[in-house]
Structure 1
Amino acid sequence: MSLSHLDAAELLRSARALDQAQAYPDLVALLEPWPGESLEVEPELLFLRADVARRVGRPDDADDDLARLHRRIA
């Protein structure tokens, strides 16, 4: 599964709206199906997924996404 830049932009809009609404279970459901390499198209998606993983008590998943994000921007 891969994301085009256009699809990533739409996914990011949806993710930001859910984050703003603090709809964390919905945000998890939106981002969880995507592999990390797909979300790298828009690094903010990785950050949002890491943030919400931590909020819902999944720190290992959060750490994985943050490590991927760090490698992406380093």
Structure 2
Amino acid sequence: MHYDVNSRWFVDVMADIGGFGVASDITLQGTATVGYNWTDTLASSFGYKALSTDYEEDGFRYDATQHGIFTRLAVKF
């Protein structure tokens, strides 16, 4: 989801789910960002991301959640 607060400020929210036993039992991901359009072609944003993976095959198990803040610079053309 992308929401323009006004012509300069925006909010982005994204979430997805996958796996379902194909590549992993389940994978979840979500981000939320607040951004600013400096010009028509340059924007930056600051956000938070979480990624969780549950995978098991042949005795190997990977079940982890990673999360933290991030920044992003976008050049639009």
Tell which structure's C-alpha radius of gyration is larger. Answer: 2
With CA pairs under 8 Å and 6+ residues apart, which has the higher RCO, 1 or 2? 1
Q: What TM-score do you get using the length of structure 2 for normalisation?
A: 0.24
